[in-house]
Structure 1
Amino acid sequence: MEPATDLPLRGFRIISAEQYGAGPYGTMFLAQMGAEVIKIEPPGKPGPDGQRRGGGDTARAVGPHFLRPGESVYFQAFNLNKRSLTLDLGSDAGQEVLHRLVGQSHAVANNMRGDLPARLGLDYAALGTINPAIVCAHLSAYGRDNARAKWPGYDYLMQAEAGYCQLTGEPGGDPQRMGLSMVDFITGTIFCIGLLGALVDAQRSGKGRDVDTDLLSAAVHQTSYPALWYMNNGDETQRTPRSAHPTATPSQMFRAADGWMFVMCQLPKFWDILTTRIGREDLAADPRFATNADRLANRDALTQALDAEFGKRPMAHWQELLGGHVPVAPVYELGAALDNPWLDQIGLRDTIAHPDAPELHVLKSPLKFDGQRPPNRAAPLLGADSEDILADLGYDPDEIARLRAGGIV
């Protein structure tokens, strides 16, 4: 599929020295918005048989599902629409290639350990003299300017240190992480926002800069209003039964006849609509449930009453009765969530061609432009674009062959 010509980042070139999840997740948004994202990956080392091993983004080797040896399905989740250039950034020749690229690019992104961007010449101090308008975006575990700069770090550690694990689960149970790596995803999104903000300024001022975010800062920032409740009022949010909202009631999971559902009466009007539509005006008239404060004080009794009512019918009945009137959703397992016909109605599922899978199922971008989701292309094979990129930079075939023979690309 050819790149779309009307996407908002068309004409922008982003170099990204990235691997695994958080950084690639963020730059994938840029690629889906039309930017040319060139993914720099280590070329690996030659083995006794002359074949390169150990190269590429480590995500290419994450199982259990592979399109071919060393090309995982996992990798496709973070790298759609990108190009791949293998390059040894630790070599002088690799730095020469990088500098030529920087001269023709708008931003350089990385999600390396905090001490590495300066060492590998990926910050504005190193690259601003080559291209004064270049934006250098950095995503690390703990930041580049503090005593933890050399520390490796991952999503699960941030969930632990930022308080998520103690907030998740049933009261009295063991600490639990969230089922998905949400700190990676939100940090990648913040990374993308910061890069775009600096890029807008560079386009009007002609001067780039460094822009940083880190996993722990993003994780703590997402504690949001509970953070302010604690910092200003000493009110430390605790776990609630049934994943209930800490203040609004009823806003939690309930048992239908065939499974769980989530009902959210965040506003007083929804409580009134709920009791009317399920034919339980007596609950609205009960003084124990008259106001939100009353319902919160008597949440256990209200849960029992609504469980008894909802347990009379399957989830589909309540979805039909309440959908569009009271905020309600089924509590799906992951398979059911992805098989939901609604995803096809809104065009969130996609099928693309990959060299090893003519019909590879992926998700489309959650963004729309002019009412349309941007098109997807399969993530590139390792080094698939190296020769074309080098040729565009002015390297002739003999020079490219020498770079390959030297293990630079």
Structure 2
Amino acid sequence: MSDHARDDDTAARDNPAATHDTAARHHAADEGRPSGAALAGIRVVDLTQVMAGPFCTMILADLGADVIKVENPGGGDQTRHSWGETDDGRDSTAFFALNRNKRSVLLDLKTERGLADLHRMVATADVVVHNWRPGVAERLGADHATLSALNPRLVYAAISGFGTTGPYADRPGYDLIAQGMAGAMSVTGEPDGRPVKNGLPVGDLGAGMLLVSGILAALLHRERTGEGQRVETSLFEAVLAMSVWESTEYWATGAPPRPLGSANRMSAPYQALRTADGYLTIGANNQRLWQRLCAALELGELVDDPRFVTNMDRMRHRDELAALLEERLAADTTERWVDALLAAGVPAGPIQDYAQVLDHDPQVAARELVREVDHPVAGRVKVLAPPLRLSASPAAIRRHPPLIGEHTDEVLAELAGPAARRRGRNGEEAP
């Protein structure tokens, strides 16, 4: 690294927002390594940014891995400066949502010094994760061949838009584009409406979750064989992998599936329906539940109606059935109908907005699904709790989302110590 680049790095580390009492930082580092966590002792070098990759590495961090987030001195992860940024330029709430439990290190990988620091880090790591476009890792000297030569036990994991082979390999990867090209937008929305993307970024988050599964499988393989390997997935493949009903329908009928609004492809009634003051969802997806629904709504005559006798009949006449059910549901409120349907043994629930879910839902409160962490700049920050429950080695929130470069000195000091000696093929420290 040139002197100029090193000065930039040092200046970023000395930023007042990133300066903390040394003892306090080392105490926090000790707290960040719980011996009882499922992935305690696993070190992850996180080269990702934005959403898919950070979501993957956050799950690993929640499970106890020591995740070191490598950021560039030019501003770090793009989401630090995206939606939700405060007026005084502090990190955005979007960054907070995806980066708890991690340590942040500033490295300029385009310099010799920065790349050398990365290589030292990789020599002590168990996993490396990146979401660069194909070819970037090779240009930087952070590709699988280079890093696995430094550490044969390394699990090298990558997310891209479309994978590293095929005619789309070089295309930029965005959730919206993946949803469109993999078919999801063709079946989302109301019939005869414009294409609509899923309200949640299923390509990004799906790819992140799939990569977690691949990493854990590769770590298990390494325990048996001593060998690392390369793991990859893509946004495109994640969206397509979720199309289990849609692909089945196409292969069975020969016709491309079309949007059904909130309705289900395999059963009816199984959809959102209007009430006097809003909407509810009903899941009467078998004959017994259909009969219970008709009894609860006092619509017993529908049970023997030739249009609705079997599930296939109800699917063929889905629109007529929905109109009749909504006519009855208009007589009362969502809350009253949900209570009545549940009492009758019919699966049902209200459609809630996020204010209702996050601030008022009793299940969210009972399961403690919203947590707060103390952030050194932003104060108390709300985050979603880890969704995994492990009885013996629970996931936990141990660290605030890091300030940019907050742990650079700490991590580089660790690499200089005896614990940084590269592990051999069978896990022993090299002499």
Tell me the TM-score normalised to structure 1 length: 0.89
Decide whether aligned partners of structure 1 residues 232 and 285 sit closer, same or farther in structure 2, where only a CA change above 3 A counts: closer
1:352 aligns with 2:373: yes
1:150 aligns with 2:170: yes
Match of 1:26 in 2: 56
Cα distance, 1:101 vs structure 2: 1.0
1:272 aligns with 2:291: yes
Identify the match of residue 306 of structure 2 among 287, 292, 305. 287
Cα distance, 1:124 vs structure 2: 2.5
1:331 aligns with 2:365: no
1:112 aligns with 2:112: no
Work out the CA distance in 2 between the residues paired with 1:376 and 1:304: 50
Cα distance, 1:147 vs structure 2: 4.0
Instruction: Structure 2: give runs of 5+ residues left out of the alignment.
Output: 1-27, 418-431
Cα deviation 1:191-213 (Å, max 9, x = unaligned): 11111111111222111111111
Cα distance, 1:361 vs structure 2: 1.1
Describe the SS at the equivalent of 1:248. Answer: coil
Whether the 8 Å CA contact 2:49–2:78 is kept in 1: the answer is yes
Whether the 8 Å CA contact 1:124–1:134 is kept in 2: the answer is no
Match of 2:386 in 1: 365
Work out the CA distance in 1 between the residues paired with 2:149 and 2:85: 44
Cα distance, 1:261 vs structure 2: 0.9
Match of 2:184 in 1: 164
Work out the CA distance in 1 between the residues paired with 2:237 and 2:330: 43
Identify the match of residue 71 of structure 1 among 84, 88, 91. 91
Work out the CA distance in 1 between the residues paired with 2:169 and 2:285: 42
Match of 2:423 in 1: none
Cα distance, 1:317 vs structure 2: 0.8
1:58 aligns with 2:68: no
Work out the CA distance in 2 between the residues paired with 1:17 and 1:216: 21
Decide whether aligned partners of structure 1 residues 299 and 233 sit closer, same or farther in structure 2, where only a CA change above 3 A counts: closer
Describe the SS at the equivalent of 2:98. Answer: coil
Work out the CA distance in 1 between the residues paired with 2:253 and 2:333: 42
Match of 1:85 in 2: 105
Work out the CA distance in 2 between the residues paired with 1:157 and 1:183: 9
1:316 aligns with 2:346: no
How many residues matched?
A: 385
1:254 aligns with 2:273: yes
Whether the 8 Å CA contact 1:114–1:141 is kept in 2: the answer is no
Cα distance, 1:380 vs structure 2: 0.3
Identity of aligned residues (%): 34
Whether the 8 Å CA contact 1:12–1:36 is kept in 2: the answer is yes
Instruction: Structure 1: give runs of 5+ residues left out of the alignment.
Output: 45-54, 396-409
Match of 1:379 in 2: 401
Cα distance, 1:373 vs structure 2: 5.1
Q: Which stretch shows the higher mean deviation, 188-197 or 268-277?
A: 268-277
Whether the 8 Å CA contact 2:62–2:395 is kept in 1: the answer is no
Match of 2:321 in 1: 302
Match of 2:220 in 1: 200
1:343 aligns with 2:343: no
Work out the CA distance in 2 between the residues paired with 1:286 and 1:347: 46
Decide whether aligned partners of structure 1 residues 273 and 376 sit closer, same or farther in structure 2, where only a CA change above 3 A counts: farther
Decide whether aligned partners of structure 1 residues 148 and 299 sit closer, same or farther in structure 2, where only a CA change above 3 A counts: closer
Cα distance, 1:370 vs structure 2: 0.7
Tell me the TM-score normalised to structure 2 length: 0.85
Matched AA of 1:199? L
Cα distance, 1:282 vs structure 2: 2.3
The 5 A counterparts of 1:171-186 are: 171-186=191-206
Work out the CA distance in 2 between the residues paired with 1:305 and 1:298: 11
Describe the SS at the equivalent of 1:285. Answer: coil
Matched AA of 2:60? L
RMSD of aligned C-alpha atoms? 2.0
Describe the SS at the equivalent of 2:84. Answer: coil
Match of 2:207 in 1: 187
Cα distance, 1:216 vs structure 2: 1.1
Cα distance, 1:384 vs structure 2: 0.3
Match of 1:393 in 2: 415
Match of 1:244 in 2: 263
Match of 2:420 in 1: none
Cα distance, 1:276 vs structure 2: 2.2
Whether the 8 Å CA contact 1:123–1:210 is kept in 2: the answer is no
